[in-house]
Amino acid sequence: MRIISILLALFFCLSSRAEDGSALWLRYATGTKAEISCRKQSPTLNIAVSELQKHWKGGIPVALEVNATKELRALGNEGYTIRTSADGKQITIASSGEQGVLYGTYHLLRLQATEQLLNPNPSSNSSSDSNLSSNSNPDSSLNALNISEKPDYRIRILNHWDNLDGTIERGYAGHSLWKWEELPAVISPRYEAYARANASIGINATVVNNVNASPRILSDDYLQKVKALADIFRPYGLKVYLSINFSSPVALGGLPTSDPLNKEVIAWWKKKAKEIYSLIPDFGGFLVKANSEGQPGPCDYGRTHAEGANMLADVLKPYHGIIMWRAFVYLPTDSDRAKQAYLEFEPLDGKFRDNVIVQIKNGPIDFQPREPFSPLFGAMKKTPVMPEFQITQEYLGFSNHLAFLAPMWKECLDSDTYVQGAGSTIARVTDGSLFSHPLTAIAGVTNIGDDVNWCGHPFAQANWYAFGRLAWKHSLSSEEIGEEWLKQTFLPISEQSRSDSANELSQKERQQLHSQLSLLNFSKSPGKQ
C-alpha cells in the first residue's frame, strides 16, 4: 500500500505541472546539439543519431558502431555495449546489429533522464550491468561507463485486442489507435510515436488485432493497411504479427472446410502466406486462439492443437515466421476450468514444430490478480512456452484506478516450479535458460488506446513501461522500474522546462520528490509489494 500512497501523492502534487501524458516517459532533455558520429547510415541508425543529437547532454561525444566482434556477436543483434574510452573523451555504443545500437541509445538516454549518470554512488540494489565510478565528481560516471546488455527474451510482444470496427475488447483508453478506415492513405503521426515508445523500452513485436479475430484481417485490402503500419514500425525494430481466425479458409476463401490436414486448406494458407510476405518481408507470424470461448479450431475437425499449429508452422517456416498458439482453452461445459489447459496441452508436449511457441496466461483461470501460476509452466519441457500477462486492467479497476502491475508479474516470474529442483523459476522456464529452447517470448495484452495520454489513467502508462522493461530484463525489481518511470515522467530535466513556469519545480520540491522516490526502494517482504 505504501507504494500506492507515494504514487498518489506524486500525482496530486504534480498534476498541475505535468504534461497531458502524450509524451509518455520520453520527456528527454532538449536544447543542445550533441556531437554524434556513426560511420554507417540506415533508417534505424539515423533514428539513433537523431535521438542523441537532440537529447544527449553529457558533454562527451558519442560514437555509434555496428561491429561483428566476438563479444558483440555473443550479445546478439539486439544486445549492446556502452563504454567510455580510456581517455574519457568518447562514449561508444556498439552492437552486432543496428537494432542493438538503437536500444543502447535509448538506454544511455534513460540513464541521463533518471539522473543515474549524475550519481557517483548508484543504488546498491541496482541490477544494471553498469560500472559507474564512485569519484566525488558527480560527472565522473561518464568517464567510467561499462555496460553490457542483451534481452532475456527473443520476442517481446504486445497483444492488441483491437477490433476492425475501432472498438477494443477490454480497452479502457478510448478507441483503437489504428484508424483502419483511413489506412493506408492517411498515416497518423501517433503510429511512429507508438513505435518509438516501444523501442525505447525494448519491445520488438506487436499483434495489431484481437485474438477473437475477424477473418477480414487477412483480406487483400486489410493486408495493405497492415503493410502501411509495418513500414512505419520497421526502422524501430518493431515487427508486425496478426491474430488469425482458424476458419479463414471457409470464411474468406470459400472452402467447405478448414480441416488443417485437408490439402486444399493447406494450399490456401500457403497462398495467403506468400501474399503476406510479398507485402511485409519481415512479417513475424500468427497468434492463434483456437477452440476457446466459441472460437473455431482444429478440434472442430477431430484434430489436435498440435496438428493445427504445425500446419500453420509448416506454411510459415520458409519465411522464418512463427506461430504463437494460445493455451487459453475454455469451454463452459468443462467441470473444472482450471485444469482444462493442462489436460489438453501437457500430452502434446514435444509434438509441436520448432517454430511454434505455446502462449500461457499467468494463471490457469484467467488474468486474475490472486491465483496460482499455470501448471503448464514447467510441465511442457520439450515445447517452448511463453508467459502472457495482461497490461490492461480487466480485473484491476478498468484503468480508473491506480494499479502498478509489476509486483504481480514479478511474483509470477519469480515463482519456482521445482521442475529441475529449486531455482526452476517461471522466468527460467520461459527464457530458454532451463530447457535451452532457442525460441523464447513474452507477451503483454496492451492497455493502449487513442486517448491523449495513450492509456486512460495517467499512471496506467507505468504498466506499459514496466512490461517492456521486464521483458528486456526480468531480474529488474518493481521498485527500480517504478522509480525509472516516475523520474522520466515527472522530473523536469531540461533547462527549457525549468524556465517554463508551468513546469518549474523549486529546489525544495525537487528534494521532496527525490525523497519520496527513494521510498520505492524499501526492503522487500511479503505485504510490502
As a CATH number, domain 17-150 is 3.30.379.10
Confidence of residue 30 (pLDDT cuts 50, 70, 90): confident
| Catalytic residue selected from 366, 411, 416, 450 | 366
Task: Give the pLDDT confidence score for residue 110 in this predicted structure.
Answer: 96
Q: What's the burial of 349, exposed, middle or buried (CB within 10 Å: 0-12/13-18/19+)?
A: middle
Confidence of residue 406 (pLDDT cuts 50, 70, 90): very high
- How large is the average pLDDT for residues 87-116? 96
| Catalytic residue selected from 259, 394, 479, 480 | 394
Q: Grid coordinates 503500419 are at which residue?
A: 229
Whole-model pTM: value is 0.88
Its sign, for the CA torsion 495, 499, 504, 510, is positive
Contact 290, 305 (CB under 8 A): yes
Q: What's the burial of 311, exposed, middle or buried (CB within 10 Å: 0-12/13-18/19+)?
A: buried
Q: Grid coordinates 555473443 are at which residue?
A: 74
The CA radius of gyration of the chain, in Å to the nearest whole number, is 23
| Catalytic residue selected from 182, 293, 334, 509 | 293
Contact 470, 409 (CB under 8 A): yes
- How large is the average pLDDT for residues 200-210? 98
366 is catalytic: yes
Per-residue pLDDT tens digits for 472-498: 999 999 999 999 999 999 876 544 444
Confidence of residue 29 (pLDDT cuts 50, 70, 90): confident
Task: Give the pLDDT confidence score for residue 458 in this predicted structure.
Answer: 85
Per-residue pLDDT tens digits for 217-259: 999 999 999 999 999 999 999 999 999 999 999 999 999 999 9
293 is catalytic: yes
Per-residue pLDDT tens digits for 414-444: 999 999 999 999 999 999 999 999 999 999 9
Name which CATH class applies to 155-205+268-479: alpha beta
With a cut of 70, say whether residue 528 has pLDDT above it.
Answer: no
Contact 480, 127 (CB under 8 A): yes
Task: Give the pLDDT confidence score for residue 333 in this predicted structure.
Answer: 63
Contact 321, 285 (CB under 8 A): yes
Per-residue pLDDT tens digits for 262-286: 999 999 999 999 999 999 999 999 9
Instruction: Outline which parts of the chain fall under CATH 3.30.379.10.
Output: 17-150
End-to-end CA distance of the chain: 7
Per-residue pLDDT tens digits for 347-397: 999 999 999 999 999 999 899 888 899 999 999 999 999 999 999 999 999
Instruction: Outline which parts of the chain fall under CATH 3.20.20.80.
Output: 155-205+268-479
- How large is the average pLDDT for residues 23-28? 93
